[in-house]
Structure formats: structure tokens, C-alpha cells
Amino acid sequence: MIRKVLLFQVLLIAAALAATVVVYPHIPAQIPFHWNFHMEPDLYGPRWALYLFGPGFMTATMLLTWLLPWLSPQRFQVSSFRSTFRLVMLMMFSMMAYMDAVMLWADSGRPMHAGRAILGGVFLFMALFGNVMGKLRRNFFIGVRTPWTLASERVWNATHRFAARIWMAAGLLGLVLSLAGLYVLALFALLATALASVVYSLVLYKQLERRGEL
């Protein structure tokens, strides 16, 4: 299974690289790389950066899948949830591939609202990530990594059970809002969900601290 995933990633990187080479002559010299709250382009860069944002980031994500377990310090190893870790990294890799495809399609003159498509992809990833957050164990790389979750395994587990529900719900809500063109509300849902997860970990830690249960 691991070899099949690796082969899939290598082939997808090669496909992304080939697609970039093919459409490169048809892409303007300056292309959008960032969109504001209304999904209007507000930051442009050179077209050669597509090689970095597409095949480059995909390659980096693939390599980190194998490097991060080795970098993990004792008591925070990803080996305790290795299958979930690999699944999350594969989802991140797939999101990078999707965003690259959107940018190549839009920048080569095809009709597409790139900002909306990318934002929708982010919320879809958020919902899928929320679906597996409850299986994450303490680590320094993925999840709700606050001083309070890293200090207490109990706080980590409770926070991620809480975050799993709200991240999945917010991801689905944000996806609908993005498709409806309500970008500000969608981004507010994203920020509110992230803040709620952090605040929950702090409040729970302080409650356990007062009761002497840490």
C-alpha cells in the first residue's frame, strides 16, 4: 500500500510538471498568487513560480511524509498514529495538486474563478481533516498544537475530539458559502473555528490545573 501511494505521488508530480511545461508559453508573464476577502487578485508574481507552487510544493509534501517521523522527538512520535499521519499528508499532497491544477487552468485563459475554486478546496480539506482529527496524538507537526495541548495528553485528546466536530462542520459550511460567493462569511467561519479550538484547549487546561488533575 505504501509503495502504491508513493508511486501515485511520483506520477502526479510528473504529470504536474509536464502540464506546467505544456501550458507555460500560454501563461501571462505576471499571474495572481493571492486573493483578498472578496476573492479578487491582490498579489501577482512571475509565471515561473508555478513550478515552485505546483511540482515544488507537492514534492516537498511527499518528502515531509517520510522525514517528519524521523524528526519527531521522543514522547511525540508520529508512529503512534502513523496511518492517520500518512492519510493527512496524502490529503495535503492532493490539495496541493488540486490548487496547482486550478491555477494552471485559470492562468492559461480557461474560464474559471480561481480564488473561489481554491477557497472551496481549502474548506473541503478542512472538512476531511476534521474527520480524522480525533485520531491524532501529541506531536509537533499537525493538529491543534498549543502550549496546553502539548503539555497534557488529556488536554490534547479532548481538544481534538472537540475540534474534529467543529472543523468538519465549519469545512462543509465554508464550502457551501464559498460556492455561494459569500467569501467574507466563509473566511470568518475558518478563523472562528481555529480560534475556538485554541481557546478550548486553554480553558480545559486551566480547569484541570485548578482541580489538580494534570
Predicted confidence at residue 112, as pLDDT, reads 74
Task: Confirm if 190 and 137 have CB atoms less than 8 A apart.
Answer: no
Q: Which residue segment(s) compose the domain that 84 sits in?
A: 2-210
Instruction: Return the DSSP state at 73.
Output: P
- Chain segment 29-74, per-residue pLDDT in tens: 888 888 887 777 888 889 898 999 899 999 999 999 989 999 998 8
The total number of structural domains in the chain stands at 1
- Chain segment 131-169, per-residue pLDDT in tens: 999 999 999 999 999 999 999 999 999 999 999 999 999
- In the block, cell 473541503 appears at 124
3-class secondary-structure state, position 194: helix
CA distance readout (Å), 121 to 117, 177, 186, 191, 204? 6, 12, 12, 16, 32
